[in-house]
Amino acid sequence: MGVKVEQVGPYLWRIPPDARPGMRVPALVVADERLMAQIRNDASLEQLANGATLPGIVKAALAMPDIHQGYGLPVGGVVATDAVRGVVSPGAIGFDINCGVRLLRTELRQAEIAPRVESLVDALYAAIPTGVGSQGRVKLDARALQQVMAAGAAWAVGQGWGEGDDIERQESNGCIPGAQPEHVSEHALERGRRQLGTLGSGNHFLEVQVVDEVYDEAGAARLGLSEGAVTVMIHTGSRGLGHQVCTDSLRLTERALKRYGIAVPDRQLACAPVDSEEARTYLGAMRAAANFAFANRQLITHWAREAFTRTLGLTPRQLGMRTVYDVAHNIAKEEEHEVNGHRRRLLVHRKGATRAFPGQPVLVPGDMGRYSFVLLGTEIAMRETFGSTCHGAGRVMSRTAAVKAARGRSIARELEARGVLARATGRDALAEEMPEAYKDVKDVVEVVHRFGISTRVARLRPIAVIKG
């Protein structure tokens, strides 16, 4: 059964708080009419309305235009709860804690690498482990793993896997404060021990791209981007360690519901008061997993630099591969926002959503056959969406449906016809992620740009991709 949705602006829709029993605030969706027609095809609006029932939620449960059905809260959802009297919900953050995106820029132009693209993609594929259960080139002992979870990307740079300015160009400088590795279970530790520096599977990827359109010359120049320049985009998260942290915490918060007298319409949104032992345990472990993810993308950055210099015969200076920015998509962060004219400390859950503080780079990957975008956050985002915006294109087809639709086709050959060389580990990896499985990210970006919560800077076209 669908929920009542009313359009309240060209790019804003509202589910009133009386649409579902237990809603404490309305739910708001940033979308145009065409995207809303797609959004109505799954249970994401019902999940968003459920998110509006969380104790301590303020203002509204929010959804970005790339919203689609997920676990508990829809992917593309944003929920802010009071940091003192609210709750934390693992299902409103997601299994792949700090699944995120890093963008690297280079001094190279497309013409310079065109004769060596195939060798380059093969070198990247050989250097960076991909696929389900893939194991990295770094084996961590117990002490080193604790350090990774405490220090994040800085640990990797300290070991020689990166450069000092990599740290400065990451959300929270590549380390979420308040991590408590001691709250990460042995099972989670074991799953993560051999996975640092791996892409994994699903929608995770590494792409070699070209800047093919610049919308904001000043913004692009500030980020070191120019038309025709070669870039690299890395999309991955905390791997099995983060997944296990979420799994462990869902069991913990499910038991907490009865203890604290909390009722939620969907047990996938199980939660605990932020001042409870259960919440402290989860938040400490979640931050530790987030730092693992920052370090994971840092190692992949280092190996990408090595693959480029080795394959193209360049010095690091000639390559000039520097981090543009690194953003987290699945995370809860304590932030201060204005609500009804007052500054309040909030716990902002972003599940498949990007922080979009004023002037901050926003990285929005699309599908591997079309394009991705770089945007900048705005003051409007601070007022309207707790400083948040979209995180990608958003699926319109399940992985099972995509594999079925790809039968009898060669997705690799179709991509090559578009000028994209692809390498993948899993048998169905390319079929599951084929372009038709996603919304056109251009439409998603158009909405957030026109609504004003992030503004377009540049478009990036893929020329090579590796996947799990």
Q: Is position 19 within any domain?
A: yes
Q: Is position 342 within any domain?
A: yes
pLDDT reported for residue 139: 87
Helix (H, G, I), strand (E, B) or coil at 324: strand
> Which residues on neighbouring strands pair with residue 332, listed in sequence order?
349
pLDDT reported for residue 236: 97
The enclosing domain of 155 has a CATH number of 3.90.1860.10
Rounded to the nearest 10°, the torsion over CA 440, 444, 445, 447 is 140
CA angle 443, 446, 452 (to 5 degrees): 145
pTM greater than the 0.85 cutoff: yes
What domain range includes position 74?
6-467
Q: Is position 45 within any domain?
A: yes
The CA distance from 359 to 457, in Å, is: 11
Residues forming the active site: 391
Strands 27-30 and 61-68: parallel
The answer for residues whose C-beta is within 8 angstroms of residue 426's C-beta and 6 or more apart is 131, 132, 201, 432, 467, 468
- For residue 11, what pLDDT band results from cuts at 50, 70 and 90? very high
Domain total in the chain: 1
What is the average pLDDT across 70-92?
97
The CA distance from 460 to 123, in Å, is: 22
- Tell the residue number behind the tokens 């692809």, with chain if given: 422
What does the pLDDT look like over 175-221, one tens digit per residue? 999 999 999 999 999 999 999 999 998 899 999 999 999 999 999 99
User: If you average pLDDT over every residue of the chain, what do you get?
Assistant: 96
> Which residues on neighbouring strands pair with residue 465, listed in sequence order?
207, 422
Is residue 97 over pLDDT 70?
yes
- For residue 132, what pLDDT band results from cuts at 50, 70 and 90? confident
What is the average pLDDT across 348-377?
97
What does the pLDDT look like over 280-315, one tens digit per residue? 999 999 999 999 999 999 999 999 999 999 999 999
Q: Is position 448 within any domain?
A: yes
HSE, CB side, 13 Å, CA atoms: give it for residue 207. Answer: 29
Q: Is position 302 within any domain?
A: yes
Among candidate residues 9, 1, 16, the one with its CA nearest the CA of residue 31? 9
Q: Is position 100 within any domain?
A: yes
Q: Is position 1 within any domain?
A: no
Per DSSP, helices labelled H in 27-168 are: 33-39, 44-51, 110-113, 117-127, 142-151, 153-158, 164-168
- For residue 131, what pLDDT band results from cuts at 50, 70 and 90? confident
The answer for residues whose C-beta is within 8 angstroms of residue 467's C-beta and 6 or more apart is 130, 199, 201, 204, 205, 368, 422, 423, 424, 425, 426, 429, 430, 433
